[in-house]
Amino acid sequence: MRECEVVHARGHENVSAEHVSTFEVTTDDWLTPAGDCILAVDADRAPADFDASFVDACRNPDATITASVSVTEADGETHTATITGRGHPDLSFENERSHVGRTSEYVDDRTVLVGADAAAADLDRDLVEALADGASVRFELVVETDSAE
């Protein structure tokens, strides 16, 4: 089984993407320099908006969850990053503000995947520069589980 959720957001001048264990997309329309895990602001959807079937699939500890961040600059140039992680039985998708991917196994109501193979600091610096210039962002989460389950 494969399910997908898409969120649209935008970069912000304070995006630094320096956090070594998380990445985040938020519905907040602002960002302070302290938010070094935040990739994009002004997201049009939060985890609480996702379909129940998507959430259920993400709760499978054997599920693969892939986060794709596609950044389109004003001149049309596009940068894409893909981060792969896993599901977890405690994922709630109840947060109404932020999507957080984690390299660890820590779960709270903002967590959308655990065991990520990358964090904000691992992203290509050209992509980060485009985010800091306020580029538009397409944040896609895809969950895949064994169809036999």
What are the structural domains, with CATH classification, of the chain? 2-144 (2.60.120.630)
Q: Please give the Cα distance from 39 to 32 (Å, whole number).
A: 12
Going by the DSSP 8-state scheme, the letter that residue 114 receives in this structure is: B
Q: With bands split at pLDDT 50, 70 and 90, how would you rate the model's confidence at 47?
A: very high
Residue 36's contacts (CB-CB under 8 Å, 6 or more residues apart) are 16, 17, 18, 19, 120
* Number of helices followed by number of strands (H, E) in the chain: 2, 8
Number of residues that make up the chain = 149
pLDDT in tens, 69-123: 999 999 999 999 999 999 999 999 999 999 999 999 999 999 999 999 999 999 9
Phi, psi of 126 (to 5 degrees): -65, -40
Q: What is the pTM of this model?
A: 0.95
Res. 147 pLDDT band, cuts 50 70 90: low
Amino acid occupying residue 19: H
Residue 9: its H or E element: strand 2-10
